[in-house]
């Protein structure tokens, strides 16, 4: 279970990007986060895996308080948080297998990684996952020779090779055509059920969020203002998520503080 409590992220002396945010995700649910640019969606994901340091608040994953971890303990915790990126984040000159095995870097020695001496069990698991997502035939192909959808499938397998307890996806379909986007969203949904893995997806495409996820969280200027099943996302809810103004939100802050 992921439990976020009273999370605040502030850059410098400006207004907080995340404002006392609470969020709980359990089981194998697929949860999408929607909202306009600047709502804090990507910052939220990056606070969870500590790519961005929270200003205050608590982020707990299966009983481990992530915000207090440092050094080796933080590296160990990050192994359990898979991340799928919008821009794929692959090493183009490496093969698909080599990119996929980078998901195991937190588990093997530096020497083994440099020499590409991957454990047999890791190779077996990689082939198993690549077969599942339809890219096993590209195991020895350089990443820069793949299509966008194939590259994103490599990114998904790399994240799953970490044996994660939660999977985060930051705009995983933004660089893909509509058909491929639907395939990737369907894949993430299916894998969540098969692996009993909670998945948290930051996404701009509301139609895909409604079709492929179990729950939608709507953010506006650092706050969660909608959290319900996709069927409950009506026009009124959409207007509250996408039509608000920063000025109105600051007025709410002042009222809350008075």
Strand, helix or coil at 11? coil
Expressed in percent and rounded to 5, the helix, strand and coil fractions of the chain are 45, 20, 35
Residue-by-residue pLDDT tens, the chain, 258 positions: 999 999 999 998 888 999 999 999 988 899 999 999 989 999 999 999 999 999 999 999 999 999 999 998 998 999 999 999 988 999 999 999 999 999 998 787 777 777 778 899 999 999 999 999 999 999 999 999 999 999 999 999 999 999 999 999 999 999 899 999 999 999 999 999 999 999 999 999 999 999 999 999 999 999 999 999 999 999 999 999 998 544 344 334 333 333
**In the block, residue with structure tokens 């495409």:** 205
Q: Please report the pLDDT score of residue 245 as a whole number.
A: 45
> Rounded CA gap, 83 and 104, in Å?
13
Half-sphere exposure in the Cβ direction for 85 (13 Å, CA): 10
> Rounded CA gap, 116 and 139, in Å?
14
Q: Find all residues with CB under 8 Å of 105, minimum gap 6, and list them.
A: 113
Q: Dihedral angle at the C-alpha atoms of 69, 100, 159, 29, nearest 10 degrees?
A: -160
The structural domains of the chain, with segments of one domain joined by +, span 2-242
pTM of the model: 0.89
> Rounded CA gap, 172 and 238, in Å?
22
CB–CB of 55/16 below 8 Å? yes
Instruction: Indicate the fold that domain 2-242 takes in CATH.
Output: Rossmann fold (3.40.50)
**Cβ atoms within 10 Å, residue 177:** 12
Q: Please report the pLDDT score of residue 82 as a whole number.
A: 96
Q: Find all residues with CB under 8 Å of 196, minimum gap 6, and list them.
A: 27, 28
Question: What is the longest distance spanned by two Cα atoms in the chain?
Answer: 62
């Amino acid at each position: 279970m992921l439990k976020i409590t009273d999370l605040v992220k502030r850059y410098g002396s400006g207004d907080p990007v995340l404002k006392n945010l609470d969020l709980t995700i359990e089981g194998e649910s697929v949860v999408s986060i929607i909202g306009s640019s600047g709502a804090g969606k990507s910052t939220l994901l990056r606070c969870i895996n500590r790519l961005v340091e929270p200003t205050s608040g608590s982020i707990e994953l299966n009983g481990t308080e992530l915000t207090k971890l440092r050094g080796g303990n933080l590296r160990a915790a990050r192994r359990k948080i898979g991340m799928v990126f919008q821009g794929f984040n692959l090493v183009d000159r490496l093969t698909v297998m080599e990119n996929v095995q980078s998901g195991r870097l937190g588990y093997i020695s530096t020497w083994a990684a440099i020499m590409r001496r991957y454990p047999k069990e890791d190779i077996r698991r990689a082939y198993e996952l690549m077969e599942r997502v339809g890219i096993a035939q590209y195991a020895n192909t350089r990443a820069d020779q793949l299509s966008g959808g194939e590259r994103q499938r490599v990114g998904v397998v790399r994240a799953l090779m970490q044996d994660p307890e939660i999977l985060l996806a930051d705009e995983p379909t933004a660089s893909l055509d509509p058909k491929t986007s639907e395939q990737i969203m369907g894949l993430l949904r299916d894998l969540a059920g098969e692996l009993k893995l909670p998945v948290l997806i930051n996404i701009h495409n509301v139609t895909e969020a409604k079709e492929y996820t179990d729950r939608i969280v709507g953010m506006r200027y650092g706050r969660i203002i909608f959290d319900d099943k996709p069927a409950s996302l009506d026009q009124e809810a959409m207007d509250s998520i996408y039509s608000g103004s920063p000025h109105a939100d600051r007025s709410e802050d002042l009222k809350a503080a008075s």
